[in-house]
Amino acid sequence: METTQTNSTTSEGKTIALIAYITIIGLVIAFIMNNEKKNAFAKYHIVQSLGLGLTGLALGLIGLIPIIGWIINMVGVLVLLYMWIMGLVNAINEKEQPVPILGNHYIEWLKNI
């Protein structure tokens, strides 16, 4: 009986989780929507998406450094795109699986959100 509740809760949070991966505005909307519903699955993916956004911001700042920063930025953006796609696929498939490379760190760093 517990698995039915878990599956139902995951399905309810799936829409919010998907919205979280669609731009920064989507992340804000998902955060507000989940404040009302308090869905654990949605919160998990909101944290993952927020971590990706903050990583993108850090890459942008590194990209301001001439030459070496540009190289790191270009490679980082490709890795970030891969991580974003994997997070989106996990949300679509209703999996609470961290994004590759930094996903476990996002959970630890952003646990108070």
Q: What pLDDT digit, counting tens, does each position of 12-71 carry?
A: 789 999 999 998 899 999 999 988 878 999 999 999 999 999 999 999 999 999 999 999
pLDDT at 78: 97
Number of domains in the chain: 1
pLDDT at 1: 37
Q: Which residue has the tokens 């519903």?
A: 37
Residues 6+ apart with CB under 8 A from 65: 72
Q: Is residue 112 classed as helix, strand or coil in its secondary structure?
A: coil
Distance CA 71, CA 11 (A): 40
Range of the domain at 92: 2-109
pLDDT at 8: 62
Q: What pLDDT digit, counting tens, does each position of 85-96 carry?
A: 999 999 999 999
The vertex-28 CA angle with 109 and 56, nearest 5°, equals 55
The vertex-17 CA angle with 112 and 60, nearest 5°, equals 70
pLDDT at 3: 44
